[in-house]
Amino acid sequence: MKITFLGTGTSVGVPSVGCECDTCLSDDPRDNRLRTSVLIEHQGQNILIDPSTDFRQQALRIGLKHLAAILVTHSHADHCFGLDDTRPIMFRDGAIPVYASEVTWQGLRRIYSYVFEPAGYPGVPRIVPHSIESDFSLLGLNIEPVTVMHGQLPVTAFRIDRFAYVTDCNFISDETCARLMGLELLVIDALRFKKHPTHMSLDQALEYIQRLEPRRALLTHISHDIKHSETSAHLPERVEIAYDGLAVELTSPTSFQLVEDRIVES
């Protein structure tokens, strides 16, 4: 299983429009962050977690041609507005299964009402909706949905074997923490240094990482408050900031490879 970070930025992306802070003006490519999304490759097929606002650019950048399924964490714009841009794949391959919680489907049905209420126009996204209620199997992988809180909004995080993807949250319950133990790799929201009403600060993310004890953790959904090189120098061992284009290969239940950095762990 290979995980590629298509985007690692907050809802406005980095650089932010009109901003002249050190991060937004940085010439370090790791400080250029499209909206948060990951692609999972398994047995020659692709699963997308969140069709972000930047999906078209992300797909073109990696040469993406096919999608077997889409998982949606929640219906905020930066995590679902790219669904319309998956249409060229649908035109070639047919309808794509999309998995989301019922709370998320309520938002998606409102945003994409033209998909669910056809008006005779043929060029709409073609999807097969699936409501997530419990664990399910996809491409031979066991997908375990767990709920985290994004302010007052329940967001679906996903555990897949010993990998978990936890974005857009500021609270993880004891019950969910118990389901996130024993991870090889944890990807978790860490928006900025200061506290935020709906996202984790860097310190909050580090507290959860310390509690969950994954073998390695990668931080995502990063704002321009955090400059990659400066912040990385002060992170605990085995905690790193993800960046656009970073790829991680989980080669077995107990080993993985950071492809872009050529760092092999076993």
Domain total for the chain? 1
CA distances, 32 to each of 50, 67, 85, 105, 146 (Å): 19, 25, 21, 31, 30
Which residues are registered as beta bridge partners of 48? 39, 70
Tokens matching residue 77: 């714009």
Q: What is the pTM for the complete model shown? A: 0.94
Lowest average pLDDT, out of 33-47, 113-127, 146-160, 233-247, goes to 113-127
In this structure, are residues 54 and 7 in contact, taking their beta carbons and an 8 Å threshold?
yes
| CA pair distance 172, 178, nearest whole angstrom | 10
What integer pLDDT is reported at residue 260 of this predicted model? Answer: 56
Range of the domain at 23: 2-265
Vertex 72 angle, CA 81 and 109, to 5°: 60
What integer pLDDT is reported at residue 117 of this predicted model? Answer: 82
For 65-120, how does the pLDDT look when each residue is reduced to its tens digit (9 = 90+)? Answer: 999 999 999 999 999 999 999 999 999 999 999 999 999 999 999 999 989 886 66
CA distances, 240 to each of 9, 84, 235 (Å): 15, 32, 7
Nearest to 96 by CA among 119, 64, 120: 64
Q: Which residues contact 39 (CB under 8 A, 6 or more apart)?
A: 3, 4, 6, 46, 47, 48, 49, 62, 64
| CA pair distance 131, 26, nearest whole angstrom | 41
| Torsion angle defined by CA atoms of residues 6, 10, 14 and 19, in that order, rounded to the nearest 10 degrees | 170
CATH number of the domain that residue 108 is part of: 3.60.15.10
